[in-house]
Structure 1
Amino acid sequence: MTRKIKKVAIIGSGIMGSGIACHFANIGVEVLLLDIIPRELNEIEKAKGLTLNDKVVRNRLVNDALTASLKSSPSPIYNQKFADRITTGNLEDDLHKIKYVDWIVEVVVERLDIKKSVFEKIEKFRTPGTLITSNTSGIPIKFMSEGRSEDFQQHFAVTHFFNPPRYLKLFEVVPSAKCKQEVTDFLMMHGDKFLGKTAVLAKDTPAFIGNRIGIFGIMSLFHVVKEMDLTIEEVDKLTGPVIGRPKSATFRTIDVVGLDTLVHTANGVKDNCPNDEMRDQFVIPDFVNKMMENKWLGSKTKQGFYKMTKDAQGNRDILSLDLNTLEYRTKKSAKFATLELTKSIDNVSDRFKVLVGGKDKAGEFYRKSFAAMFAYVQNRIPEISDELYRIDDGLRAGFGWEHGPFQIWDAIGVAKGIEIMKAEGHQPATWVTEMMANGETSFYTVKNGATYYYDIPSKSQVKKPGQDSFIILDNIRKSNEVWKNSGAVIEDLGDGILNIEFRSKMNTIGGDVLAAINKGIDLAEKDFQGLVVGNQAANFSVGANIGMIFMMAAEQEYEELNMAIKYFQDTMMRMRYSSIPTIAAPHGMTLGGGCEISLHADKVVAAAETYIGLVEFGVGVIPGGGGSKEMALRAQDLFHKGDVQLNVLQEHFLTIGMAKVATSAYEAFDLGLLQKGKDVVVVNKDRQIAEAKKHAVLMAEAGYTQPVKRKDILVLGKQALGMFLVGTDSMEASNYISAHDQKIANKLAYVMAGGDLSEPTRVSEQYLLDIEREAFLSLCTERKTLERIQHMLKTGKPLRN
């Protein structure tokens, strides 16, 4: 049968339940969110004379939980309007409604008796054949399904989301013993294709895959910290971005997740895995027990390993916990010679050999921690997974690691990893020794653009499943490279489509990237049929190379700067008016110039997690690569009659003037940065390049026609300019903006109004580009603009001067 998910019921509205409800709403699914009724009235309800029978009281817990979730930051929902897809209710009055849903997800408290009671109630109303899953993070599935009907058990599985459900990609699927294979296959497919997750098939073992290995890594680290007498700042320095982990590293991550959550999971493994050879690593250290006693649980209790305070002047100060004295102190800086050696190594995987070879404390730390991790993961096969790649997928998707344990081991070298393990008292597993004896020297290989992994039963490299719907640029770059320079690589994606992949630092846009875009268009127009601009780095692009702009402006090389800005503008116009379809594939931070590239593509295939905006005001200028022009053009395309024109133009003006950044691709439609009916959103970023290629092929094969340059743009002249100037003058007078803010805003107003024309006039794009460039250059002559650019370069933060 073809199964479609149109409506789901979420049972339990806590942090996870509400988060999962929001994420289903994100992908267009209708959600019924249910929870228990309150046992007593609160003070407000008593004052209003309400009773426990009133609907508003009976739904109070679920409504309060959902409201709190929607107000939380970062937001669990792509667009606040999507919350309308969620209907709330309670388990006494509304449980019968689950008979109309396609999937029931249980997210109640982690107690087996409560879960079994909920399942018993659910079965009274559940329609046979309906999917029923639990979001448990560790209760054995065989216990939860005891006593349930055959049909219930055939459609029952664990679907373990990680918190927060919108942002963490891991989706562990654990089928029950009687679960139909078609149900398991559907859950894996739906998690990947529709929920945008990395779906990992796991076994019914304590903590499954992600938490079993991830929590081991943290608990093992606790012991290393005490053994080596490291500070929490030192550990967070060693376990953060330098090894491809989140900035929150180890201790800050624990504070965010909650120390109690960590302890609960660690105890679960210790108590339920008597044969785990490293079970002692899951024993809670004394300093953690003391923190639990003190309720120092992290962000939820305002203090954990870090504590936020304010000094006498009201300035924020972050204190760190001394693990020896358990007293808070001023944060200390952490510096290691080994880390200095990696500063010039951009590719994280290339750093591991350097790190484990370090002669200082850092090197010793990496050897100890990686040796323990390698020893642990090798022995979890086949206990928690039959395939090693599932362990790597789980850690990358659930804990935000750039590389999983076996990938790190590969980067160091399998033989070197074994050497490090032995030096720390660990022995390689039999299957690892056999692998090396058989001449297989790595866990992964890349062949014909696909990833292969070492399959233990067959003792051979086997193609990793599920890749056919992905294009992995790392796998095709060497074999499919068409052209490259220092800032970008052009790859052949097949079927006549080229891809331009930025490779500059943070994917900033300078002359080399612009040259690559022009070269890509040249090549595509001559020998191919379409072009994608996309990459698979953390962010699409943080914008133009402002360091180059600063140097030119500081040296007063205005002619060179003028030519550089014109080159950017001309490149954007080539994207817009080439003879082949151009597709932009933005994701992550897509700021300034990165946004302008997206604005000028024929189509945008955006990842749902795209944070896009024209943020040039933060460095004292206006968008100069066609962004100001484009927003004026888009505003006029929405014009109707009368003062509506001014309202539309003002909205687009404020998008730039307030440096608004969409917090998702869906919000970008509201800001006019993406266009409804033309641009599309992909929830699973892994599918983005393949999806962009698909659209390029479709447009080319449908008979793409080269667009005609626009000369019909209606600008409002003095009518709009006057409105803008009055507004900025009022804002400056009320100290809402600075005098320099006003100057920048007035320059933008001039461009978007089309100058001080006496009446509404039709103009060309080139006309708007010329006055945009003139305004940009004039702002670059201002001292306060140079101060803003310099401050951004030094601190990464905007300056308001």
Structure 2
Amino acid sequence: MNKHIKKVAVIGSGIMGSGIACHFANIGVEVLLLDIVPRELNEKEKAKGLTLKDKVVRNRLVNDSLASALKSKPSPIYHKDFANRITTGNLEDDISKVGQVDWIIEVVVERLDIKKQVFENLEKHRKPGTLITSNTSGIPIHFMSEGRSEDFQQHFCGTHFFNPARYLKLFEIIPGPKTKPEVLEFLNGYGEQFLGKTSVVAKDTPAFIGNRIGIFSIMSLFHAVKELDLTVEEVDKLTGPVIGRPKSATFRTVDVVGLDTLVHVANGIHENCPKDERHELFKLPEFINTMAENKWYGSKSGQGFYKKVNNPKGGSEILTLDLNTMEYRSKKSAKFATLELTKTVDKVIDRFKILVGGKDKAGEFYRKSFGVLFAYVTHRIPEISDELYKIDDAMKAGFGWEHGPFQIWDAIGLDKGLELISAEGQKAAAWVDEMKSAGINSFYSVKDGATYYYDVQKKEMVKVPGQDAFIILDNIRKTKEVFRNSGVVIEDLGDGILNVEFQSKMNTIGGDVLAGLNKGIDLAEKDFQGLVVGNQAANFSVGANIGMIFMMAVEQEYDELNMAVKMFQDTMMRMRYSAIPTVAAPHGMCLGGGCELSLHADKVVAAAETYIGLVEFGVGVIPGGGGSKEMALRASDTFRKNDVELNVLQEYFLTIGMAKVSTSAYEAYDLGILQKGKDVVVVNKDRQIATAKAYAKLMAEAGYTQPIRRTDVKVLGKQALGMFLVGTDSMEAGHYISEHDKKIADKLAYVMAGGDLSETSYVSEQYLLDLEREAFLSLCTERKTLERIQHMLKTGKPLRN
């Protein structure tokens, strides 16, 4: 099916509808967002003498909803200007405009009668061949298209986005009885390639895949809480980052999503799945019923499992709901000996064996929760999906799990998982025993860099489809490894391109990582054509190893510190001035040194969700790995005839001085960190390494020439330095910055001005690097800088002193 999506209509502008509209705007699609006309005037409209015929009144609901969405945090939009791609209207005056779009997405209230009425009205204006889909989270798809035309039904299906649409990757596609196969194929590919989603074709069963398994997991925890006498804090501690789940874990997630939403989906499963072997588990526990009666829905109602209150001291405090008394109390810390055993285990997948072996209440909790989960997912095949990998994909993309149930089971071991199931009085589906009898002892395997899964119908291992567009580093690392040290692994990506993958904690950049980067460049220059620096961890890099810097500074090993900073600078310059093209592939947090590395690559292929910035001010120093130099150089390259050059330089100075971090890769263009016409953004992070490799290969084949080192950086000397110093003086006098903030800012000013030169001059990059390194080292001798570094190491938060 050859179709180009240039314009979509989103019907319904609530939280979900506005979020979907924003995400289509994110990827460059024109959006028509429609909602109903208000039935009556509000007080403000009455005061202005408006009537229900005025356009501003008729579009009030849709405009208010979109405005509210755009103000929300985290933002649903990559860049504020992208909101201009959305046009608003109402379902009476503007419904005929759906005849001009390529795809209509219905996101109205979850009532079948209302949805059918909306579809009836839409069909009067929809042109044949237009895609039309529903974002329902639970209403059977086959009910919604009843009575519609043949063309409507052939182009109709469910497309279930998860909230928030920008951030959660799951995109469930649910066919109707007459949906054309090519429509499903198109939507599957479009979701992956353009929307950046994990597309999963699901069956038309209650709650589809993600919510069926996700709500089961939550409901089983709700029932286990009382049985194991666990507190809200303890459950959230056990079900958060330690097992690769979001920080919001279980109860905080329910507060954010809304207890009413969870109750609605759980009740729907309970009513519509009478043959589910765990049917009774979807019955709401008493404490949930009480909360629902009290309208304690979570964030939207001001209280749920947690409640924020003002304390007598004038600050605020988060209280926790005691599930025994149903009263709020102060939060308690949650500690378990089993969790302590996993503190030195960096990879989440390696923790599960330890967790289920725990001798305390935590171990009991994990054995119980994994036992019932493993049993449940086996019985959902083929009910909700024919392929087990789709269940894992749905849980990872829709609920933010790092690993799906079958992947966790593989980590624990097939026999151990069966033991946990048996201990809970449950039984796995018969196909698991068939698999084991055939001598297959895992649900997944890796062969020739590709992932295979056990196909229940074929009774053999089958290649997971759609991998050809991806490079999965976990799959190629063992067979394509070229070099390894404690900080990096270098892999051969094929076609003459190497990849340097950070392996340090939080991907911090220390001596081992720098040595690995240099080795990668050496190998690429000798035997390959290009180099990618990329990884598939949660974050690209949180920056330099400040623990190492702190130790050197405290011990006053300034010569060693000088050498370490110079090695960082020299490595960044090698990234820029090597004989082969270098491509950085940042994603997630890319801070400090990670940002500096990106600044020095020949090209950046950034994931859309990249939060990048030079944040060294937070630990009392200036960027010392070439970042300060690079901002001065980029300001110089930006100077145009008749520019007020001081103002241009000031923008780059403030990017560092205010420790600005982009909230998306697109915002990084505004900060001068990414460069338009040179650096690119990919929406689907899974495609990032493959895309970076393609660009490195293209640059090499186009005849890459080693660049000549720059000696033409225009610096403004005393003219700029004076302006900056006056500015920092007034900021300190106004108590906007501390004395130490001023000292750091003045050091940065000196570097970016090129020193106190008497007139505008042209200098080399190395001249600026030497100024930068000197300023960095001098700040490392300051007690207040050491306090800032120590505080960051202890708490993970910046100190203002």
Same fold, judged at TM 0.5 (above)? yes
**SS state of the match for residue 768, structure 1?**
helix
Once the two structures are superposed, residues 152-183 of structure 1 have per-residue CA deviations (whole angstroms, 9 ceiling, x without a partner) of: 00000100000000000000000111111110
Bigger Cα displacement from structure 2, 358-367 vs 520-529? 358-367
Q: Is structure 2 residue 234 aligned with structure 1 residue 234?
A: yes
5 Å matches for 1:493-572? Answer: 493-572=493-572
- In the other structure, the counterpart of 2:791 is 791
Shift of 1:301: 1.0
Structure 2 residue runs of 5 or longer lacking an equivalent are none
CA distance in 2, matches of 1:618, 1:310: 29
- In the other structure, the counterpart of 1:103 is 103
How high is the sequence identity, in percent, across the aligned residues?
Answer: 80
Shift of 1:681: 0.3
- In the other structure, the counterpart of 1:665 is 665
Q: Given that residues 391 and 404 in structure 2 are in contact (C-alpha distance below 8 angstroms), is that contact kept between their aligned partners in structure 1? A: yes
- In the other structure, the counterpart of 1:208 is 208
- In the other structure, the counterpart of 2:375 is 375
- In the other structure, the counterpart of 2:51 is 51
Q: Given that residues 376 and 428 in structure 2 are in contact (C-alpha distance below 8 angstroms), is that contact kept between their aligned partners in structure 1? A: no
- In the other structure, the counterpart of 2:27 is 27
5 Å matches for 1:154-233? Answer: 154-233=154-233
5 Å matches for 1:604-643? Answer: 604-643=604-643
Once the two structures are superposed, residues 66-101 of structure 1 have per-residue CA deviations (whole angstroms, 9 ceiling, x without a partner) of: 000000000000000000000000000001011110
- In the other structure, the counterpart of 1:144 is 144
Q: Given that residues 451 and 464 in structure 2 are in contact (C-alpha distance below 8 angstroms), is that contact kept between their aligned partners in structure 1? A: yes
Q: Is structure 2 residue 670 aligned with structure 1 residue 678?
A: no
Q: Quick one: which amino acid aligns to residue 221 of structure 2?
A: L
CA distance in 2, matches of 1:323, 1:134: 37
Q: Quick one: which amino acid aligns to residue 496 of structure 2?
A: G
5 Å matches for 1:302-317? Answer: 302-317=302-317
- In the other structure, the counterpart of 1:732 is 732
CA distance in 2, matches of 1:326, 1:514: 54
Once the two structures are superposed, residues 449-471 of structure 1 have per-residue CA deviations (whole angstroms, 9 ceiling, x without a partner) of: 00000001111000000000000
Shift of 1:644: 2.3
Shift of 1:643: 4.8
Once the two structures are superposed, residues 527-583 of structure 1 have per-residue CA deviations (whole angstroms, 9 ceiling, x without a partner) of: 000000000000000000001111111111111111100000000000000000000
Shift of 1:312: 1.6
CA distance in 2, matches of 1:324, 1:744: 53
**SS state of the match for residue 727, structure 1?**
helix
Shift of 1:248: 0.7
- In the other structure, the counterpart of 2:800 is 800
CA distance in 1, matches of 2:631, 2:703: 28
**SS state of the match for residue 125, structure 1?**
coil
Q: Given that residues 488 and 512 in structure 2 are in contact (C-alpha distance below 8 angstroms), is that contact kept between their aligned partners in structure 1? A: yes
Q: Quick one: which amino acid aligns to residue 156 of structure 1?
A: F
**SS state of the match for residue 538, structure 2?**
coil
**SS state of the match for residue 321, structure 1?**
strand
- In the other structure, the counterpart of 1:17 is 17
- In the other structure, the counterpart of 1:248 is 248
CA distance in 2, matches of 1:476, 1:399: 27
- In the other structure, the counterpart of 1:699 is 699
Shift of 1:344: 1.2
Shift of 1:642: 4.1
CA distance in 1, matches of 2:441, 2:350: 17
Q: Quick one: which amino acid aligns to residue 151 of structure 2?
A: D
Q: Is structure 2 residue 116 aligned with structure 1 residue 119?
A: no
Report the count of equivalent residues: 801
Q: Is structure 2 residue 268 aligned with structure 1 residue 262?
A: no
CA distance in 2, matches of 1:342, 1:502: 21
Q: Quick one: which amino acid aligns to residue 451 of structure 1?
A: T
Once the two structures are superposed, residues 681-701 of structure 1 have per-residue CA deviations (whole angstroms, 9 ceiling, x without a partner) of: 000000000000000000001
CA distance in 1, matches of 2:351, 2:368: 16
Structure 1 residue runs of 5 or longer lacking an equivalent are none
CA distance in 1, matches of 2:644, 2:40: 51
**SS state of the match for residue 199, structure 1?**
strand
Shift of 1:315: 1.9
- In the other structure, the counterpart of 2:776 is 776
- In the other structure, the counterpart of 2:394 is 394
Q: Quick one: which amino acid aligns to residue 731 of structure 2?
A: M
Shift of 1:420: 1.1
**SS state of the match for residue 372, structure 1?**
helix
Once the two structures are superposed, residues 228-263 of structure 1 have per-residue CA deviations (whole angstroms, 9 ceiling, x without a partner) of: 111111111111111111111101111110000000
Q: Is structure 2 residue 337 aligned with structure 1 residue 332?
A: no
Shift of 1:316: 2.2
Cα RMSD of the aligned pairs, angstroms, is 0.6
- In the other structure, the counterpart of 2:711 is 711
**SS state of the match for residue 124, structure 2?**
helix
CA distance in 2, matches of 1:116, 1:353: 49
**SS state of the match for residue 318, structure 1?**
strand
Shift of 1:427: 1.2
Shift of 1:146: 0.5
CA distance in 1, matches of 2:68, 2:664: 20
CA distance in 2, matches of 1:642, 1:790: 46
CA distance in 1, matches of 2:415, 2:663: 45
- In the other structure, the counterpart of 1:460 is 460
Q: Quick one: which amino acid aligns to residue 475 of structure 2?
A: N
- In the other structure, the counterpart of 2:432 is 432
CA distance in 2, matches of 1:486, 1:279: 49
Once the two structures are superposed, residues 285-316 of structure 1 have per-residue CA deviations (whole angstroms, 9 ceiling, x without a partner) of: 10000011111111111111011122122222
Q: Given that residues 581 and 696 in structure 2 are in contact (C-alpha distance below 8 angstroms), is that contact kept between their aligned partners in structure 1? A: yes
CA distance in 2, matches of 1:644, 1:92: 51
- In the other structure, the counterpart of 1:449 is 449
Bigger Cα displacement from structure 2, 344-353 vs 581-590? 344-353
- In the other structure, the counterpart of 1:742 is 742
Q: TM-score scaled by structure 2?
A: 1.00
Shift of 1:346: 1.1
CA distance in 1, matches of 2:169, 2:643: 46
**SS state of the match for residue 320, structure 1?**
strand
Once the two structures are superposed, residues 97-136 of structure 1 have per-residue CA deviations (whole angstroms, 9 ceiling, x without a partner) of: 1111000000000000000000000000001000000000
Once the two structures are superposed, residues 683-722 of structure 1 have per-residue CA deviations (whole angstroms, 9 ceiling, x without a partner) of: 0000000000000000001110100000001001111111
CA distance in 2, matches of 1:266, 1:784: 54
CA distance in 2, matches of 1:303, 1:90: 34
